[in-house]
Amino acid sequence: MVVANQKGGVGKTTTTVNMAASLALHGARVLVIDLDPQGNASTALGIDHHAEVPSIYDVLVESKPLSEVVQPVPDVEGLFCAPATIDLAGAEIELVSLVARESRLQRAIQAYEQPLDYILIDCPPSLGLLTVNAMVAGNEVLIPIQCEYYALEGLGQLLRNVDLVRGHLNPALHVSTILLTMYDGRTRLASQVADEVRNHFGNEVLRTSIPRSVRISEAPSYGQTVLTYDPGSSGALSYLEAAREMALRGAVVGAQNEQSMAEGI
């Protein structure tokens, strides 16, 4: 699952780590790949990512096996992280001259042999080669949308990029999930934006939206997800519910695919 939106600060990282932790707490084995040079997902999961730590940069640029950089996340059984260090800032340019530059992450994931139920990839706020690598590697795109004015601006470009990658590099790719984040029910603007997103996208939008919550924004400074930092908070409960909804849909789509495959035989 590729968590992408080239707009900055819309809740990509927060959504990646909290959805991943929710799925792991439900018993799934989940890997978070931090594909943003800022390393925010690594920080939020309490994973060391100073410059010398083996990281996703080594995987993409030096062809190091993914298994050599993946670390278990403290406190959450079944949750793992491939961290990003500041080196990754150079990868966008270094990748340009490498062979198969768009599919290096896909190859690394294919060679990774540990059993996993989900991989969530936290993308940087841009549509460059790092995000393209994520889109080539993934099947589904999860777009977090912040319930603010301008929320839909730029989305057209993101959707066109998904179409381009689907057309040329990864026929399986599709936008499966849209999550409304930082929803403030007290403002009319938030509900207007939410209505607009639901009218525009319909089925892809999860029924659960994520409220604006101080607990969610505090958790990363303790190297934790909100699920372990304050499990009873409204923020934690909404991410648990959103993850449940996403997992159930995935199960239904999976079953439909199996059925149509069975019918095809």
Minimum separation from the CB atom of position 233 to ligand ATP (A) = 10
Q: Which is nearer to ligand ATP, 9 or 72 (CB)?
A: 9
Nearer to ligand ATP, 8 or 167 (CB): 8
Residue 241 CB partners (closer than 8 Å, separation 6+)? 208
* Beta carbon nearer to ligand ATP, 13 or 208: 13
**Per-residue interface string for the shown chain with Mg ion, residues 24-63, x marking contact by CB under 5 A:** ----------------x-----------------------
**95 touches which of Mg ion, ligand ATP, none (CB within 5 to 8 A by kind)?**
none
The identity of residue 248, as a single letter, is L
- The CB-of-44 to ligand ATP minimum distance in angstroms stands at 8
Neighbouring residues of 263: CB distance < 8 A, sequence distance ≥ 6: none
Instruction: Give the one residue of 13, 146, 161, 176 binding Mg ion; rule: CB under 5 A.
Output: 13
Pick one of Mg ion, ligand ATP, none as the site partner of residue 212 (Cβ within 5 to 8 A by kind): ligand ATP
- Which residues are CB-contacts of 162 (< 8 A; sequence separation ≥ 6)? 135, 141, 173, 174, 175
Nearest Cα neighbor of 179 from 149, 219, 140, 206 is 206
Backbone phi, then psi, for 85, in 5-degree steps? -110, 175
177: contact with Mg ion by CB under 5 A: no
Q: Which is nearer to Mg ion, 13 or 133 (by Cβ)?
A: 13
Alpha helices in the chain (DSSP H): 12-25, 40-44, 56-62, 88-94, 104-110, 129-137, 155-168, 188-201, 214-218, 226-229, 234-264
Binding site for ligand ATP (CB under 6 A): 8-14, 36, 40, 125, 181-182, 210, 212-213, 216-217, 235
213 binds, among ligand ATP, Mg ion, none (CB under 5 to 8 A by kind): ligand ATP
| DSSP assignment string, 201-247 | HGGGB-S--PBP-HHHHHGGGGT--HHHH-TTSHHHHHHHHHHHHHH
Give the rounded distance of the alpha carbon of 246 from its chain centre. Answer: 13
In terms of CB distance, is 19 or 25 closer to ligand ATP?
19
Chain positions contacting Mg ion, by CB under 5 A:
12-13, 40
